[in-house]
Structure 1
């Protein structure tokens, strides 16, 4: 039997409704509820998992990825050696998967899923068939804002620590045309929230996060605000991305012909290398080596 709790929360003088559902396996349809949440996600799914063998959940994630939902998975490093894990399959389908371990030989034992940074699924329930059909497990689904924010902050922090361990492509030598592009798997809007004034990360964590992301590549979609071609620096566009963040992108020289074919208000896909992030609410992200399509 599962229960639904509706909480009335007073936030800054405004009343907000938060819904929390409680499930117990194997009696309840916990997996069905999770798959429904994955299908409903529009922008992002962040998953932290100790074990992942559920084919139904994996297939739902692939469908979400194919419709444009950004997916990030943090898995315990032992999953890379688990022959029953579906994570290698997800990697083959192009999902962003990072393996992580606990400290001093410990494990990454989290089990939670965040949908659109608005709702979280968590509990003893792992993403396995045993959890759904045989084990006695518990799980909650909640959109209570303060709880969701805490889970999102924890995920972003672990993801940032993991990025910090990856050798940064920043070097004193120039980046050549043949050097591969390393995409960070974060949208500009999401990165802006992580580094912004309202972020729950400490200044040192923000600095570490930016140090890991700087000079790596991002991709996204946004609306062209303006475009120009400078004889010295080359073609440049200003884009307002889907999250409302403003980005200045210095394009590659061979993108010059696209400037004349674009107009203000046009929605385009972009890529670029991160150079600078906004220091104030009125400044912009700055990218170079950009491209439009």
Structure 2
């Protein structure tokens, strides 16, 4: 079984467990400002699931993850224009975190708000790459410090917070973090399918 298949099985298992196991930790996971390291499931993994339509505020947990990053922050996001997340990313770079971003070229070129955000991010010294292949760069994922991952369906948009049915999954796990980091690095280093955004 490939690493990607194992990862998707892990994610869907986590979502099922979070949705079907009423417990005290479930109630605690809805607190947006709770440190990500306080909730522990089996083993050394820490998993949280935040649904927009359940009032669980994934954006607050995403900002917290960015604010807690100390060394690296790698972001592959299809769509981004939510100011508080953008500001947190820029501040992370300002405090010395090595930040990299990959996004979708067509979205960057066609959406004025996204274009403005990418200009701001680029001006902060954060390198950005976009896809040059025919398909979309449709990922929504963030890796902080190599072992903390955020992924799911949640784009970093106001509409994702206020209108959409979306989910963000937060995983703190060395092996899962390594898989996501390898996937990000492979895209970043692929000069055929990705290029620098200017």
TM-score w.r.t. length of structure 1: 0.50
**Paired residues of 1:100 and 1:162 also in contact (CA < 8 A):** no
Distance (whole Å) between structure 1 residues aligned to residue 163 and residue 191 of structure 2: 33
Question: 1:41 matched to which residue of 2?
Answer: 69
Question: 1:279 matched to which residue of 2?
Answer: none
Q: CA deviation at 1:94?
A: 1.7
Distance (whole Å) between structure 2 residues aligned to residue 152 and residue 165 of structure 1: 16
Q: CA deviation at 1:80?
A: 2.6
Distance (whole Å) between structure 1 residues aligned to residue 40 and residue 191 of structure 2: 36
Distance (whole Å) between structure 2 residues aligned to residue 34 and residue 163 of structure 1: 30
Question: 1:140 matched to which residue of 2?
Answer: 169
Q: Which has the larger radius of gyration?
A: 1
User: 5+ unaligned residues in a row in structure 2: which ranges?
Assistant: 1-18, 20-24, 30-38
**Paired residues of 1:80 and 1:88 also in contact (CA < 8 A):** no
Instruction: Give the one of 118, 123, 133 matched to 1:92.
Output: 123
**Paired residues of 2:76 and 2:141 also in contact (CA < 8 A):** yes
Distance (whole Å) between structure 1 residues aligned to residue 86 and residue 194 of structure 2: 27
Distance (whole Å) between structure 2 residues aligned to residue 126 and residue 80 of structure 1: 14
Distance (whole Å) between structure 2 residues aligned to residue 95 and residue 75 of structure 1: 13
Distance (whole Å) between structure 2 residues aligned to residue 114 and residue 139 of structure 1: 13
Deviations 1:198-228 (Å, cap 9, x if unpaired)?
xxxxxxxxxxxxxxxxxxxxxxxxxxxxxxx
Deviations 1:175-194 (Å, cap 9, x if unpaired)?
xxxxxxxxxxxxxxxxxxxx
Distance (whole Å) between structure 2 residues aligned to residue 35 and residue 57 of structure 1: 6
Deviations 1:96-122 (Å, cap 9, x if unpaired)?
111114x4x210000001000010000
Does residue 19 (structure 1) correspond to residue 46 (structure 2)? The answer is: yes
Distance (whole Å) between structure 2 residues aligned to residue 46 and residue 92 of structure 1: 17
Distance (whole Å) between structure 2 residues aligned to residue 163 and residue 118 of structure 1: 27
Question: 2:42 matched to which residue of 1?
Answer: 8
Deviations 1:147-191 (Å, cap 9, x if unpaired)?
21111110000001038876xxxxxxxxxxxxxxxxxxxxxxxxx
Number of residue pairs matched by the alignment? 157
- Taking structure 1 as reference, are residues 111 and 153 closer, same or farther at Cα in structure 2, changes over 3 Å only? same
Give the alignment's Cα RMSD to 1 decimal: 2.1
Runs of 4+ in 1 over 2 A off after TM superposition: 1-9, 162-166
Per chain length, whose mean CA-contact separation is higher, i.e. which structure has more relative contact order (CA < 8 Å, sep 6+)?
A: 2
Distance (whole Å) between structure 2 residues aligned to residue 47 and residue 32 of structure 1: 16
